[in-house]
């Protein structure tokens, strides 16, 4: 019976570093991505380009247009980060759909017993990947906000949010106190 785990399973160690099934899958997808990028770069220098080159170009331009509809002229600045997120997650998810990913099992030691674990696991199924992508996203957003607004305007946004929250709390407290006084005012005392 295969061992089911919500975390990536260690397959082997390399230089004292545990190599998990999701790292192996991520490495395969990374190598495939490098191959596609190098192929695209090489094709861009040729006079006669392949259909695959035009397919990639159409795909990238379509994604660029999608982001442009949200970001406008700033798309040129943010596109490398956004496309990297999009392409990485897309390829990792698609890789997880391939036959053998998650179902090709090997026997590994887990403490004192041997268990069957998948040799490959989609990297986006690993919680560490999700957390890493979220951290990169949050820090990138804060970095670009400070870069474009300056630290003073950036911090001012938080004070406005705080003022909105304080206004909400003040309205809630006032309304609740009025409700309590109304409740006491309309009740007969014996």
> Per-residue pLDDT tens for 102-142?
888 888 887 788 888 888 988 888 888 889 999 999 999 99
Can you tell me which residue has the tokens 């560490």? 128
Map residue 183 onto helix, strand or coil. Answer: helix
CB atoms within 10 A of CB 24: 18
Lowest-confidence pick of 2-6, 52-56, 143-147, 182-186: 2-6
| Whole-number pLDDT of residue 149 | 94
Q: Could you tell me if residue 21 is inside a domain?
A: yes
97 part of a folded domain: yes
Instruction: State the pLDDT confidence band at 1, using cuts at 50, 70 and 90.
Output: low
- Has residue 166 been placed in a domain? no
Total tally of structural domains belonging to the chain: 1
The residue segments making up the domain with residue 37 are 10-125
């Amino acid at each position: 019976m295969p061992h089911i785990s919500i975390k990536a399973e260690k397959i082997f160690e390399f230089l004292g570093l545990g190599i998990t099934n999701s790292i192996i899958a991520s490495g395969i997808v990374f190598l495939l991505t490098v191959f596609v990028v190098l192929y695209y770069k090489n094709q861009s220098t040729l006079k006669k380009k392949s259909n695959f080159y035009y397919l990639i170009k159409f795909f990238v331009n379509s994604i660029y247009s999608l982001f442009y509809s949200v970001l406008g002229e700033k798309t040129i600045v943010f596109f490398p980060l956004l496309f990297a997120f999009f392409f990485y997650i897309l390829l990792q998810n698609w890789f997880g759909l391939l036959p053998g990913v998650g179902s090709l099992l090997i026997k590994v030691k887990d403490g004192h017993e041997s268990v069957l674990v998948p040799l490959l696991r989609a990297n986006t199924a690993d919680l560490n990947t999700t957390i890493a992508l979220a951290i990169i996203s949050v820090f990138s957003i804060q970095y670009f906000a400070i870069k474009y607004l300056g630290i003073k305007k950036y911090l001012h946004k938080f004070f406005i949010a705080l003022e909105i929250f304080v206004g909400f709390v003040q309205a809630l407290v006032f309304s609740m106190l009025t409700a309590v006084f109304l409740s006491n005012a309309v009740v007969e005392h014996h």
